[in-house]
Structure 1
Amino acid sequence: MEHPAYSQLRPVTPSAGVVLCDNPSYSALEGTNSWIIRAPGDRVAVIVDPGPHDEGHLNVLQAQAEAGGAEIALILLTHHHGDHADGAPRFRQLTGAPVRAADKRWCAGGEVLEDGELISFDGLTPTIEVVATPGHTGDSLCFFIHGAGGAAGTDDDVEGIISGDTLAGRHTTMISETSGDLGDYLDSLRLLDKRSHGVRLLPGHGPDRDDAAEVVEKYINRREQRITQVTEAVEKLGEDATVGQIVDEIYTDVDPVLRSAAKQSTRVTLHYLGLSTN
């Protein structure tokens, strides 16, 4: 079974499978990937990003996770955006499982997740390492799936990285202007670059990828290129140049549909450079 496959459990690694929500959009690509962490024969399952408040999707997700009599012990959020997290309160009602996130505002019945924390349960083969990766939003996390129950920071048994919106299966990811930060994002990408080589990417949107490092390196190069382009555009046009003028200078053939995204990316870069926007 290949991506996209709506309302079905698609196994991706020995301990992780995905149910794709039917909520396609420009930012969500084909939809939100909701991840089920559970090895064959395990009595316990953990859900990462139940997705939007879509009753049909949540019901399918619950049925697939509980197949064979397993119990959903925990709901994890990569970050607070609605297409990943709005379904969490309802999913907690359906399953009784606590919700944990990096920000206490999005937790329910569970504690705030800590960077470097290792999550484990009796009856669940893999362990789940919490890795703080702020940038897309301030509360963004990745989850490293240790298929053999390994410890945090030891990558020999990491079979996949659930990345939320920090990394996508195709295209790039946007940085939130309200809670994101380009400097933090670059730091997060460099951290991931050290630990992602040969590890499968399990993204929040788009298809899974064989080697997460290939995506990480592409993202770093793209961001560094944009920083250079914005810097050169400001030097040419002057610091009083508007965001629209900078976009016209850099994105010479941008699709009008993508102009808003280009302006957002430019504003984020200007903020990173310490320049005001007009």
Structure 2
Amino acid sequence: MAPVRPHTPEDGAMVGRHAQCVRHDNASPLTYRGTNTWVLANPAECTGVVVDPGPDEAGCLEHIVRACEQRGLEVRAVLLTHDHADHAGCAAAAGERFGAPVLGLRDGSLRPGPLAIDGVDLPMEVLALPGHSSDSVGFYVPDGDLIVTGDVLFAQSPTMVCWPDGRMGDYLASLDALAHFVVAQGVQRLCTAHGAVIEDPRQRIEAARAHRTRRLNQVVAAVRSGIPADAPALVEAIYNDVAPDLHDAAVRSVNAQLRYAYDEGLLQERGTL
């Protein structure tokens, strides 16, 4: 029997009482069924925040505006899990439309730790989760037992380490930190940026780390066997289970794995990445 694919939230669906998924129509090999924008609010209040407003494509911003208007919700901040275009492409326009600040780690407007938004009665915490990108963060909502995780983790597939901005060592450390936080705080759900909500955080984090370790071991073994330490050559040799339209993403991840292997002394560097 084929494995059951994780269920992507319907557009507009509530996840618990605090998070609403607004899904954009920008499906692609990298964005899966589209980018999930998350609208977070205290269910007893009429103010909230928008996380990852999505790409700079026609209709994306109006889609969010309609969802908030239907709930009678005033947006007081636009938050970014990271600044990639499929998440932040319309961030400036969203900030202008809502008359709200756009906050992200890249420009220093966000910092790890407790996050208080003026006029929003919703405790949140910013978690630094670099690796996919250097500016990746998560947003923990204690009252909802959830974290909005951006591209750090997916239910349906591995994530990409976006070398050179993303680093494998950072990514592995972030998975470990996230696992510890999930256990310590009793987090029940990870609201991802593409695809399904992760309802089994500990198991999925463990699976992601095991996958990364397995791929790293494959890269190291391949280079030691005589295959050139060249990302396209290694993808051709060991990523035969990856679709052709994900080849470029695999090359970036392999470059990140090579850099990590050199830094950790698993391979001897002969060139420069």
- With the length of structure 1 as denominator, give the TM-score of the two structures: 0.85
Select the structure with the greater relative contact order (CA < 8 A; seq sep ≥ 6). 2
Moved more, 206-215 or 80-89: 206-215
Q: 1:242, 1:277 within 8 Å by CA — same for their partners in 2?
A: no
Distance 1:248 1:159, change over 3 A: same
Give runs of aligned pairs for residues 136-147 of structure 1, distance below 5 A. 136-147=132-143
Q: How many residues align?
A: 257
2:189 paired residue among 161, 178, 200? 200
d(CA) in 2 for partners of 1:120, 1:160: 18
Shift of 1:181: 0.6
RMSD: 2.1
Q: 2:129, 2:136 within 8 Å by CA — same for their partners in 1?
A: yes
**What runs of 5+ residues in structure 2 fail to find an aligned partner?**
1-6, 263-268
Q: Deviations over 1:95-125 (max 9, x none)?
A: 1011000021xxxxxx61111133255452x
2:266 maps to none
Distance 1:186 1:41, change over 3 A: same
1:13 maps to 16
1:186 maps to 172
Distance 1:65 1:252, change over 3 A: closer
Distance 1:277 1:255, change over 3 A: farther
d(CA) in 1 for partners of 2:225, 2:152: 32
Moved more, 13-22 or 252-261: 252-261
Amino acid at match of 1:200: R
1:113 paired residue among 98, 110, 119? 110
Distance 1:199 1:121, change over 3 A: farther
Identity of aligned residues (%): 34
1:102 paired residue among 87, 100, 105? 105
Q: 2:129, 2:137 within 8 Å by CA — same for their partners in 1?
A: yes
d(CA) in 2 for partners of 1:254, 1:174: 12
Q: 1:22, 1:31 within 8 Å by CA — same for their partners in 2?
A: yes
| Secondary structure of 1:224's aligned partner | helix
d(CA) in 1 for partners of 2:129, 2:192: 13
2:127 maps to 131
| Secondary structure of 2:20's aligned partner | strand
Instruction: Tell me, yes or no, if structure 1 residue 225 matches structure 2 residue 214.
Output: yes
d(CA) in 2 for partners of 1:56, 1:247: 37
Instruction: Tell me, yes or no, if structure 1 residue 28 matches structure 2 residue 31.
Output: yes
Shift of 1:271: 1.1
Amino acid at match of 1:117: P
2:154 maps to 168
